[in-house]
Chain A
């Protein structure tokens, strides 16, 4: 089961979940993902080597995609 998670004031919110045999759920996740990008969030997919990747399209087979706010120097 893959998850789309947004970091927000509640701690985090799971916006969508999908799996290989749920194409409709993935479509819903794509819509939610694009909506959050439009709101200014950035999508991050974790890589197996521990690094992460900034993404603009929702990967179908990523286990977890996290939406974060921009960072800035304080």
Chain B
């Protein structure tokens, strides 16, 4: 009998799920910065043409001002839609039943400290400090608030089983995140990156304290 096996015997290197996205470069500080700038540039490229066209039409032919207003509405709506997609990663999913939900909640409570438990009770979200920033974990996604609190990254990522209670879904993400934060961000799909205030407006009111706590 192998009674002498030490804690953490035969640890693996990072998350095995990274093999499923082997073509992706592993996320690090620099790649996050690059990704954020690229996201902003893309958003600007999508909106500025609408603004320029609206101004040009208004100046050249004032009768087309109604069209200019429609174009400006487009320019406003595009970043809003992106932010809404980001907020969507934290939306609660379907509940599976009171008993399993309670049992899952007990285990999740064992994995986090008292402050995180209170925040989860109020928002349904779990906060976890990492090296890349502070993570807000939901049932089917996670938001990374960078250390300077000037940018958030919203990721779609979830456990492969669909019949899990809400707290179990969060526990899956929490455990994977604690194994390897960079692998976690690599496996997840980026849904939005931008200023925290953009995301905040699109979050459910009861979830906003989690974003505020992550930015503190």
**B6 near A73: Cβ-Cβ < 8 Å:** no
Complex Cα distance A27/B187, Å? 34
Task: Report the bound CA distance from A62 to B141 in whole Å.
Answer: 29
CB–CB B175/A44 < 8 A: yes
Cross-chain contact A52 with B179 (CB below 8 angstroms): yes
Inter-chain contact B157/A9, CB cutoff 8 Å: no
Cβ-defined partner of A73 (8 Å) among B3, B179, B189: B189
Assuming the contacts A71-B157, A71-B176, A73-B189, asked whether A55 and B11 have C-beta atoms less than 8 A apart, the reply is yes
How far apart are B160's CB and chain A's nearest CB, in angstroms?
Answer: 5
- Main secondary structure on chain B at its contact with chain A? mixed
B45 CB-CB contact with A under 8 Å: no
Instruction: Evaluate contact between A26 and B3: CB separation under 8 angstroms.
Output: yes
* A73 engages B5 (CB within 8 Å): no
Chain A: which residue is nearest B181 at the CB level?
A51
* A4-39 contact mask (Cβ, 8 Å, vs B): 1 or 0: 010111111000000000010011001000000000
Task: Tell me the chain B residues, 125-159 only, with Cβ under 8 Å from chain A.
Answer: 140-141, 155-159
Within 8 A of A (CB), among B33-63: none
Once the chains bind, are B106 and A11 in contact (CB under 8 Å)?
yes
Contact B5 A69 (CB under 8 A): no
- B116 vs chain A, min Cβ distance (A): 11
Knowing A7-B107, A72-B20, A74-B141, say if A51 contacts B5 (CB, 8 Å).
no
B178 at the interface (CB under 8 A from A): yes
Residue in A42, A45, A68 whose beta carbon sits within 8 Å of that of B8 in the complex = A45
- A71, B10: Cα distance in complex, Å: 21
Chain A residues whose C-beta falls within 8 Å of the C-beta of B141 in the assembled complex: 74
> Per a CB cutoff under 8 Å, which of A47, A54, A66, A69 touches B159?
A69
Kindly provide the distance from the CB of A30 to the nearest chain B CB, expressed in whole angstroms. Answer: 8
With A54-B14, A74-B140: A69-B161 Cβ-Cβ less than 8 Å = yes
| CB contact under 8 A between A69 and B107, given known A27-B1, A74-B189 | no
B12 touches A8 (CB 8 A): no
Taking CB atoms, residues of chain A closer than 8 Å to B107 are: 5, 7, 11-12, 66
Neighbouring A residues of B178 by C-beta, 8 Å? 44, 46, 50-52
| Chain B residues within CB distance 8 Å of chain A | 1-12, 14-17, 20-21, 89, 96, 99-107, 110-111, 140-141, 155-161, 163-165, 167-168, 171-173, 175-176, 178-180, 184, 187-189
A-B pairs with beta carbons under 8 Å apart, 16 shown = A7-B104, A8-B168, A9-B163, A11-B101, A12-B106, A47-B8, A51-B178, A54-B14, A54-B16, A54-B180, A57-B2, A59-B7, A68-B176, A69-B164, A71-B157, A71-B158
